[in-house]
């Protein structure tokens, strides 16, 4: 098995389009885009539902929040995937309301009296935090060196493991059935298990094109079976309006108060770490080079989307980890598929009746699909952690203590109930607490001690290559980025023989010449982005 260095981006652009930038046919864009919407929908609407119910909003106000959220999600997703100026990572990232902000927003809203009055204070904090995120983005992106694989891998694994219980909750019947005899009913678990098994069977037995639609087909099949058995109710579709527009400042002008703003800025700092991890995760999956400029563009998009959310009666936004799992499962990497998904979200935000059709998917069916997708998010984190030397005690402690901190809010809830409201608004989240712990422990162990941490080396993104000439890049199916004979990546510069992650130093004598496609290469190295060995 020979090794072929991945191509330089400029050379690649001359020979063919990277799968991330490929525009698929309209039919595939429609199907793959709608699949993203289905995978995203439950997570998208759960935040306005939870926050609205906690603040005591009426049913009409709750429906308005959901429509506003979908509309803003669509606009934010298009900005992130398509890119405008230096805003947007131009990667297949779907934008959604961050779960990290749920507890803080509820605390802020209830502290302001609840109802629409509480929403106005929340929106003031959201708009201010969004502006701060946009302005701080280029500075934050330069801190990426402080987020080595042990931090990013830990955060992504925590996100996935924290979301899996939500999928399991849906599989049992949904949060609304908790305390009801129907919660955990065998019928609900049967729908969830049937949907999950159907998805696994399609991935195992189906052709690549069908495998890439496994989640969509699973949701349609599961909903169809539930409807035939009388467990899927589409009655709300008839009662929904055909058209509805979310107007800016629908509930009144936002109120700007100091402590809510501070709490929301802290939340956005955590989401910036989360987005950084998501950007590197999608780079890992798509084999697309990620640098500081990419991270800064993604964070600016988060800031713009968050400001837009405060104006259009929605909430803070972040790259959605669920859809990163879907990209990994489907192997469809085109960012224009995500743009198509954004268009669908805008339509659903303007057409409540269309959104109500998707909302009719039974919770157990959605839970079965979510288990696979959330698990894939954690898998990406584990994949990155696989590049970390966990025999090193400091790395192992960062991982171990961060996992424990992430479980604390759910395991010992009374501890957080006794906290001051302002502090609870920040820490009562497993993702927030676990992410903060990983960042702070890395600073304590590796940065403040001037101990050299591992950094991402995108020049080492390589794939196993058979001993034959590679085909032209446009000959590969766009839906399968892991075809072994499809080299593309960041750099054509070879590494020093026998030294993984080592590159010729500038000015070193006898620089290597670019290798020919047919030339035998160095011994096989692990696939994926490589991080250099830790040093002191």
What are the Cα distances from residue 222, in Å, to 16, 195, 197, 348, 392? 39, 5, 10, 22, 46
What are the Cα distances from residue 443, in Å, to 145, 153, 431? 11, 16, 18
Mean pLDDT of the chain: 75
Residue, of 184 and 353, whose pLDDT is higher: 184
Checking DSSP bridges between strand 317-319 and strand 2-3, what pairing results, if any?
Answer: unpaired
Taking phi over 0 as left and psi of -120 to 50 as alpha, with beta for the rest, 179 belongs to left
The label of the residue with tokens 């992430």 reads 406
The answer to whether residue 63 scores a pLDDT higher than 90 is no
Residue, of 422 and 145, whose pLDDT is higher: 145
Q: Model confidence over 285-308: pLDDT tens digits?
A: 888 888 888 889 999 999 999 999
Mean per-residue pLDDT for 167-176? Answer: 79
> Where does 91-185 have alpha helices with state H?
102-111, 115-141, 149-171
The answer to whether residue 363 scores a pLDDT higher than 70 is yes
Residue, of 475 and 155, whose pLDDT is higher: 155
- Pick the range with the lowest mean pLDDT from 60-69, 336-345, 361-370, 475-484: 475-484
In this prediction, residue 131 has a pLDDT band, given cuts at 50, 70 and 90, of very high
The answer to whether residue 345 scores a pLDDT higher than 70 is yes
In this prediction, residue 524 has a pLDDT band, given cuts at 50, 70 and 90, of very low
Residues sharing a CB contact under 8 Å with residue 524, sequence separation 6 or more, in sequence order: 1, 3, 464
The answer to whether residue 333 scores a pLDDT higher than 60 is yes
Half-sphere exposure of 166 (CA within 13 A, CB side): 18
Is 0.85 topped by the overall pTM? Answer: no
| Closest among 335, 340, 316 to 324, alpha carbons compared | 335
Q: Model confidence over 380-430: pLDDT tens digits?
A: 788 888 888 888 888 999 999 999 988 888 778 777 777 776 676 667 677
The answer to whether residue 133 scores a pLDDT higher than 90 is yes
Joined together, the tokens standing for residue 187 give: 């019928």
Residues sharing a CB contact under 8 Å with residue 409, sequence separation 6 or more, in sequence order: 416, 427, 428, 429, 430, 433
Mean per-residue pLDDT for 499-522? Answer: 44
């Amino acid at each position: 098995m020979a090794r072929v260095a991945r191509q330089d981006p400029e050379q690649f652009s001359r020979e063919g389009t990277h799968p991330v930038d490929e525009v698929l046919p309209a039919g595939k864009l429609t199907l793959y885009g709608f699949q993203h919407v289905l995978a995203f929908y439950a997570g998208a609407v759960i935040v306005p539902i939870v926050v609205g119910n906690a603040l005591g909003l009426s049913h009409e106000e709750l429906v308005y929040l959901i429509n506003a959220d979908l509309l803003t999600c669509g606009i934010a997703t298009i900005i992130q995937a398509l890119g405008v100026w230096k805003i947007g990572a131009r990667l297949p990232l779907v934008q959604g309301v961050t779960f990290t902000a749920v507890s803080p927003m509820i605390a802020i809203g209830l502290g302001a009296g609840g109802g629409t009055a509480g929403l106005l204070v929340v929106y003031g904090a959201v708009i201010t935090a969004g502006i701060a995120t946009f302005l701080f983005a280029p500075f934050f992106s330069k801190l990426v060196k402080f987020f080595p694989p042990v931090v990013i891998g830990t955060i992504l694994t925590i996100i996935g493991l924290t979301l899996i219980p939500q999928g399991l909750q849906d599989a049992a019947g949904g949060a609304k059935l908790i305390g009801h005899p129907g919660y955990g009913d065998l019928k609900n678990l049967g729908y969830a298990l049937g949907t999950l098994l159907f998805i696994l069977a399609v991935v195992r037995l189906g052709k690549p094109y069908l495998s890439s639609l496994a989640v969509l087909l699973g949701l349609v099949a599961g909903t169809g079976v539930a409807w035939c058995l009388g467990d899927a109710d589409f009655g709300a579709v008839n009662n929904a309006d055909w058209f509805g527009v979310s107007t800016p400042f629908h509930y009144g002008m936002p109120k700007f108060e100091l402590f809510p703003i501070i709490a929301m800025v802290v939340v956005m700092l955590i989401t910036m770490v989360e987005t950084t991890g998501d950007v590197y995760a999608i780079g890992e999956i798509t084999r697309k080079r990620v640098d500081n400029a990419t991270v800064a563009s993604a964070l600016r998009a988060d800031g713009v989307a968050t400001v837009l959310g405060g104006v259009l009666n929605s909430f803070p936004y972040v790259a959605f980890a669920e859809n990163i799992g879907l990209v990994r499962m489907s192997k469809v990497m085109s960012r224009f598929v995500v743009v198509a998904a954004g268009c669908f979200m805008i339509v659903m935000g303007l057409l409540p009746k269309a959104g109500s059709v998707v909302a009719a998917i039974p919770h157990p069916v959605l839970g079965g699909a979510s288990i696979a997708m959330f698990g894939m998010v954690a898998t990406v984190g584990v994949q990155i952690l696989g590049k970390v030397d966990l025999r090193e005690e400091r790395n192992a402690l960062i991982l171990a203590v961060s996992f424990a901190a992430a479980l604390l809010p759910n395991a010992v809830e009374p501890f957080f109930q006794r906290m001051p409201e302002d502090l609870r608004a920040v820490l009562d989240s497993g993702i927030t607490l676990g992410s903060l712990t990983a960042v702070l422990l890395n600073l304590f162990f590796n940065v403040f001690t001037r101990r050299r941490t591992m950094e991402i080396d995108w020049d080492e993104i390589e794939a196993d290559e058979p001993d034959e000439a590679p085909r032209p890049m446009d000959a590969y199916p766009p839906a399968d980025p892991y075809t072994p004979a499809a080299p593309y990546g960041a750099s054509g510069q070879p590494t020093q023989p026998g030294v993984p992650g080592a590159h010729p130093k500038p000015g070193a004598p006898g620089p290597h010449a670019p290798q020919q496609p047919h030339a035998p290469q160095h011994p096989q190295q692990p696939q994926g982005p490589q991080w250099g060995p830790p040093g002191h």
